[in-house]
Chain A
Amino acid sequence: MSAVVEFERVVSIAGSFPVLTGLDLRVEQGEILLVRGENGAGKTSLLRACAGLISVNSGNASVLGFDMRADRRAPRRYIGLLGHENNLYRDLRVSEHVEFRAASVGAKASDTAAALEQVGFPQQLWTVPIISLSAGQRRKVAIASLLVGRPQLWLLDEPHAALDTESRKNLDAILKDASASGATIIFVSHENPTTKDIASRVVTMDGGRIMEDSGAG
């Protein structure tokens, strides 16, 4: 097994605020890592640093074997990132949106149907504008938009938010499935103790660093 994420003493500064303050983290391929912590602990920043969306100001960082200080754009197309927002073009119809996301990561438009079915999105709503969907349904479309790209690394910020119990179980199944076929998953959650079930490891963040690690030592 090789390390998918390898962070050593990573400091990351957003504006003039240090969001990561010397963070150490090593995540192996196939792990499902749950990141917990209070609001403002740096969980979201960790995900964005893994995605290469914020720069690493000091320390060593590599993701999927790419040195993030040399070129943080390099690993992006192998990564699926879902933040607080759903990244949806609200004016588009569901299938149009997922097709665009599929095409933009080089996947086939025909994978769209499979992805929407996998997240349990009802077929009669595929031609509905996203703007008329409920929050939970939008979240599903967002997850399907990631799924079509078959990412090697999933970075999910509160992925269970807005989903009902049935859909949560379904999402957990999808994540386990992806992990079993070699993908690595890092997800953030601060509210729900039941999300712990699928995690193979839990870390707790505070003040921009990892403070507790269930898998350490």
Chain B
Amino acid sequence: MFKAHRDLNMRPDLEFISSLVKPGDRILDLGCGDGSFLCHLRDDRKADVLGIEIDPAAVGRCIANGIPVVQRDFSDPMDFLADKSFDLVILSQTLQENKAPDQLLKEIVRIGKLAAVSVINFAHFSCRFQLMFRGEMPRTPQIPYHWYDTPNIHLSTIDDFRKLCHQLEFDIVEEVPIPARFPRLSKLYPNFFAVGGVFVLKS
């Protein structure tokens, strides 16, 4: 199932990513779903957009939305996209579904002057409690799947992700925790209180 995120209020990570976009920017969204976020960037932020999406139905919806979209698995090589050919490459809550997240991250910071990666925090307290007290694999509004039907094969925590960025020698330009509740605590202890985070990266 592809993602639809028409209502930005439901997705604070997208709201933040949207604020990074200036008029005329070239934006690439990997796993763009039905293209509604790109519609918003095109119409409200006056950006020049392109989506990559593997789901044929979602590709059809992008075309209906007038969003240029290329049907493709973005795990496949993206050597046809030149270095720094986009102002911003967006990867929103899809990294964990990818077979080689580290390779993908290297690609997006190569292609984008900036990359905005929104990650799900598997160390959020609700996850921790489910695992600790119930002894079950956590399920949350961000990760609603059972262990056996989840597309998420590389879940990480915010700390894990930050570590990987250092290891890959990316600059973390900005890091914004996404709280469900407790916004102040999420800022102080994102790895415990935030349900996710947006990292703005560059190489």
Decide whether A and B assemble into one complex.
no
A residues bordering B, Cβ < 8 Å?
none
B residues bordering A, Cβ < 8 Å?
none
